[in-house]
Amino acid sequence: MAWLPANPLAARAGIPDSREEGLAYLGSLSRGLILPEMAEAFVDTVGELVAWLEADTPLRLQLIAPYPDYHPERPGGKPGGGRSVEPELFPVPRLGEWAGRMVGAVRRTAVSESPMGGGTGVLAPDVLAARDADGLEGGGRGMIAALLRGCLDAGIEPVTGARGVELVVEDGRVAGVRLEQDGRSEVVRARSGVVLATGGFEWDAGLVRDFLRGPIAHPASVPTNTGDGLRMAMRVGAALGTMREAWWAPVCVLPGRTIQGEQEVYLVNRERTLPGSVLVNRDGHRFTNEAANYNALGGAFHTLDPATLDYRNHPCWLVWDDACARTYGGFGRGEGEAPPDWVFSAGSLAELAALIDVPADALVATVQRWNASAERAEDPDFGRGRSAYDRFLGDRSLDGPASTVGPLTRGPFHAVQVFSSTLGTKGGPRTTVDGAVLDVDGNVVPGLFAAGNAMAGPTGMVYGGAGGTLGPALVFGYRAGRTAAATATAATPGPARTGALA
């Protein structure tokens, strides 16, 4: 998904939105962290970006019409959606030999067809068979495949498995990058510029310790995101920005499962929104609106208790009852099924508290209080269910806050430990609106650009809506590429790869 305010797809569908509303929304959430010129460049480029994608690449976007913004009641927010888009299904076999080099889970459905998008998520057998036969995919793989096809069509062949380790600087200009691959070193020269797109630094414990505003555990991204681009930028004197922020996300671990040698995690989003579930900290107390968007929830994990100088809310526990489990499923289980066997379960709340090492009297009192207010379908403590967003991932067959506020009454009761994680960090070199890296004195570092999570996040601490990371990444990646291409220098003619192996 990609979050694109005032996008032409919404306009074509007659959904009202505007530049002014997009900027008002971001501004209302900025807390002084969003640079106005970056917000303006983001919103103002959305139309051009979509037109370019449609003209020059096979990527086609479609609206996920009802997906609300993540803070829809803020000025300029959209409770009824219109800003979140996704790729149309793409035939991955069109990639030829590159199809087999794609990683990640295959999705034959679009988000629009899932319960989130207002569909059932279930395909008729003949439809599924046809999509299998055509290799049609949505989601992240669908988007990447379409963009990769666009690159290949333009004669751009990616190099994989090579690690960029050092920028090559000549006459004050970044002229290339040194790669390492299979124990060999190679310098690749840049005709137009070097774009750092190495993701965040969430897998480097030292950078996490030194820069992030609060604790994280078990990042959800690829473990190769170790901040290499950040270090390269720092070595050439880049100014840094948004370093304390990340795209925060609550996760639980999937015991015994690894990806690329690291712990596999599960994003805990729908489960904490369903009626009949609460989050409690290690003291057995609720501490937040559980149904808030995952990025904002990071703030609740990062609350520091001044008395103990401790993050009492991290990690925490999701507790839910068997009625919730059986009605909605969750954690990979369908309706009517029991939770996975790695979930803690006990016949009573007191027994569950003993299993998860939380004070039993506190947990029982917390659930009693929650159940009493749930009878009135309200959460006087944290306002769960007041926002259209809170209700979106809950039980939409129930009206109002009841779609997410419901009691825990029927044992057995279940619990899973939940960690503050991240989809990726947001800090990196500060850039111009066109992605050109700035040095500590505010001057452009000639020849160097940054995009995606490697650049100083243009949206500060904000996750605007579904696709809030990829929307800005598409826009500023497009702007950086366009600018780099326009400033192609005659100083580095000839083949891009000099083949200087050492």
d(CA 81, CA 9): 12
Q: By C-beta, is 448 or 470 nearer to ligand FAD?
A: 470
Q: By C-beta, is 171 or 182 nearer to ligand FAD?
A: 182
Q: By C-beta, is 190 or 319 nearer to ligand FAD?
A: 190
d(CA 134, CA 124): 16
Q: By C-beta, is 64 or 319 nearer to ligand FAD?
A: 64
CA 301 to chain centre: 17
Q: By C-beta, is 407 or 465 nearer to ligand FAD?
A: 465
Could you tell me which of 474, 436, 444, 449 has the C-alpha nearest to residue 42? 474
- In the complex, the smallest distance separating the C-beta of residue 62 from ligand FAD, rounded to whole angstroms, is 14
- In the complex, the smallest distance separating the C-beta of residue 34 from ligand FAD, rounded to whole angstroms, is 17
For residue 58, the SS3 value is coil
Q: What share of the chain is helix, strand, coil (3-state, %, to 5)?
A: 30, 25, 45
Could you tell me which of 27, 129, 165, 134 has the C-alpha nearest to residue 460? 27
Contacts to ligand FAD by CB under 6 A: 1-2, 163-164, 197-199, 220-222, 224-225, 228, 247, 423-424, 452-454, 467-470, 473
- In the complex, the smallest distance separating the C-beta of residue 298 from ligand FAD, rounded to whole angstroms, is 14
The DSSP output letter for 130 is H
d(CA 437, CA 429): 6
Q: By C-beta, is 370 or 476 nearer to ligand FAD?
A: 476
Q: By C-beta, is 197 or 358 nearer to ligand FAD?
A: 197
Environment class of 51 (CB within 10 Å of its CB; exposed 0-12, middle 13-18, buried 19+): exposed
d(CA 314, CA 334): 28
Q: Which residue is nearest to ligand FAD (CB)?
A: 452
- In the complex, the smallest distance separating the C-beta of residue 214 from ligand FAD, rounded to whole angstroms, is 19
For residue 87, the SS3 value is strand
Q: By C-beta, is 288 or 469 nearer to ligand FAD?
A: 469
Do the Cβ atoms of 422 and 221 come closer than 8 Å?
yes
Sheet-wide strand order for 173-181:
163-170, 173-181, 184-189, 497-501
- In the complex, the smallest distance separating the C-beta of residue 338 from ligand FAD, rounded to whole angstroms, is 25
Q: By C-beta, is 240 or 377 nearer to ligand FAD?
A: 240
- In the complex, the smallest distance separating the C-beta of residue 223 from ligand FAD, rounded to whole angstroms, is 8
Residue type, 42: F
Q: By C-beta, is 109 or 225 nearer to ligand FAD?
A: 225
Q: By C-beta, is 152 or 304 nearer to ligand FAD?
A: 152
- In the complex, the smallest distance separating the C-beta of residue 217 from ligand FAD, rounded to whole angstroms, is 14
- In the complex, the smallest distance separating the C-beta of residue 466 from ligand FAD, rounded to whole angstroms, is 6
Output the CA–CA distances (angstroms, integers) from residue 344 to 252, 275, 318, in the order listed. 12, 19, 10
CB atoms within 10 A of CB 336: 10
Q: With b meaning 16 or more CB within 10 Å and e meaning fewer, what string describes 368-377?
A: eebbebbeeb
Do the Cβ atoms of 418 and 331 come closer than 8 Å?
no
Environment class of 215 (CB within 10 Å of its CB; exposed 0-12, middle 13-18, buried 19+): middle
Q: By C-beta, is 139 or 401 nearer to ligand FAD?
A: 139
- In the complex, the smallest distance separating the C-beta of residue 221 from ligand FAD, rounded to whole angstroms, is 5
- In the complex, the smallest distance separating the C-beta of residue 201 from ligand FAD, rounded to whole angstroms, is 9
Do the Cβ atoms of 469 and 249 come closer than 8 Å?
no
- In the complex, the smallest distance separating the C-beta of residue 107 from ligand FAD, rounded to whole angstroms, is 11
- In the complex, the smallest distance separating the C-beta of residue 124 from ligand FAD, rounded to whole angstroms, is 25
Do the Cβ atoms of 321 and 328 come closer than 8 Å?
no
3-state secondary structure 313-346: CCCEEEEEEHHHHHHHCECCECCCCCCCCCCEEE
